[in-house]
Each structure stands twice: as C-alpha cells, then as structure tokens.
Structure 1
Amino acid sequence: MRPLRRTAGQAGRLLSFAAHYAWHFLVANVVVAREIVTPGSQLAPAVLRFELRCRTDVEVASFIALVGLTPGALVVGSDDRRERGEPVVTLVHLLHAHDLDAELAELRDLETRMLAAWRRDPGDVPTPQRAGGPS
C-alpha cells in the first residue's frame, strides 16, 4: 500500500507542477504579446545570477529548459561546480525584470516546485536560500 501511496503522491505533485508551469507560461506569453502589440517599451532587461539547488544533470537540464521555454526568459550561461561541492550557477536573461527580488523569488519558486515534482521524496527538496543577485 505504501508504494501506491508514494506513486499517487508523486503523480499529484507532477500534475500540480504542470498546472503551475502552464499558468506561468500563459502569463509570460501575454506579457510578451502585449509588449509586441502596444507602442512604447516596457522592457527592463537584466541578467540575474541564480544558484541552483539541483543535484542531478536531469534536474539542471530540466530547470534550464523550463526557463528557456518561458517567453521573455533565457539561461545564457551556466557553471557546474558540483564536483567542488558548490552549486550550479546560471545566468538568466529576463526581458521584464522590473523587480529583481521578485524575479529571483519567482525563479526559486519554479525550482522548488520542479524539484518537489521530480524527486520521489518531497521532503528531499532543500529549503530556499539566497538566490543570487544581479550580474
């Protein structure tokens, strides 16, 4: 009974994450579309340094892909320091970074939700720490 409960829990977390990301994706599309069709620029581009809590190559690649699929955001660089016991550091370019702290919190929330969905044990997700700052 325990494996079934664990599998159902992970399936629920995956569905919850998929719904969250779909909403995030839709909102990002609306923001970018509005930028295209309205006169005047609301752009506030920035490159943010973001330290990942991902442990595996699949987690790192998934996070980078999710950010890259989101309109207005792109990972433009990364430095894998896991062999030295340090986190993977990414540089994320954002088109609409009006509030850097909010953007970093949003990236951290995306990573936390992704890790909770990907990992078998939801308690295995490290607690958020300082996300890194503007580069």
Structure 2
Amino acid sequence: MINPLRMVSYSAWLGVQIVKGALDVARDALLPGVDMQPAILELPLRCTTDLEVSLMASSITITPGTITVGIASAAGAAPPTLYVHAIYAEDPEAVRADLRIMEDHVLTMTRGSAWARERSAS
C-alpha cells in the first residue's frame, strides 16, 4: 500500500523533473542550433506489479522529452520492459541511468523504505 507521505514526496520529485524537462525542451525550441538526437530505448524494469509498471510508464510520458511508446509484459525470466522515445539520447546509457533513478523513486513510493534500504545494501 502506498503511504500518502511517500506519494507526496514522489509527486514533488516528479514535479521538479517535469519543470527541468520543460525548460530543456523550451530552450531547444527557442534557440537555433538544436542538437537533439532522438532514439527509442529498451528499458527492462525492476517494477513487477501492474501499478508499478503503469506509474513508471506514466511518469516517463508526462516528463517533457520522453514518452513511453510500448510496454512488453513479463515473460518467463524476462522482466516487464518499456520502450521509451527520448529526444536527448546522445548517450543512451545516461538516459537509462536517469530512468533507473525514476524507477528507484517509483519503487520507494510503492514498496516503502524497506525496499530503499535493500537497494542501498546491494
């Protein structure tokens, strides 16, 4: 069950990410010499429940500069996977790292501080 305080904390963090993304996109829309390098990235998830996957996909989509274009369900040993279009994908691994941070925040919100402690220990 999601704790309301963790939900408020996640919403505040996500709000900051939305503002940062909006500023980046606005800057590139207004200034000449845009250096966008769009790509579609595969992102295997640690999220396991429908709620977690939906929250992650929605969070990506509402953040300017990224959109979830597809979701593959877990199959056998393969985890659920999101396909993400990013307009600033010069370094795909850096984009994935940023998305992992978002996933950390989603999982901390849904699973609580015990999950955050487990993640820190590993």
TM-score tier (shorter): 0.7 to 0.9
TM-score in terms of structure 2 length: 0.85
Query: What is the alpha-carbon distance in structure 2 between the residues aligned to residue 124 and residue 86 of structure 1?
Result: 21
Q: Which runs of 4+ in 1 moved over 6 A?
A: none
1:16 aligns with: 9
Structure with greater Cα Rg: 1
Query: What is the alpha-carbon distance in structure 2 between the residues aligned to residue 124 and residue 38 of structure 1?
Result: 42
What SS does the aligned partner of 1:54 have?
coil
Q: List runs of 5+ in structure 2 lacking aligned partners.
A: none
TM-score in terms of structure 1 length: 0.78
1:62 aligns with: 55
2:115 aligns with: 124
Deviations 1:102-132, CA, capped at 9 Å, x for gaps: 211110010111110122x42236749xxxx
Once the two structures are superposed, the pairs formed by residues 29-108 of structure 1 within 5 Å of their partners are 29-82=22-75, 84-108=76-100
Deviations 1:22-54, CA, capped at 9 Å, x for gaps: 111100000111111111222111111101111
1:112 aligns with: 104
Q: List runs of 5+ in structure 1 lacking aligned partners.
A: 1-6, 129-135
**2:115 is aligned with what amino acid?**
D
Deviation at 1:91, TM superposition (A): 1.0
* Cα RMSD (Å): 2.0
What SS does the aligned partner of 1:43 have?
coil
**1:14 is aligned with what amino acid?**
M
Query: What is the alpha-carbon distance in structure 1 between the residues aligned to residue 53 and residue 42 of structure 2?
Result: 15
**1:58 is aligned with what amino acid?**
L
State the identity as a percent: 30
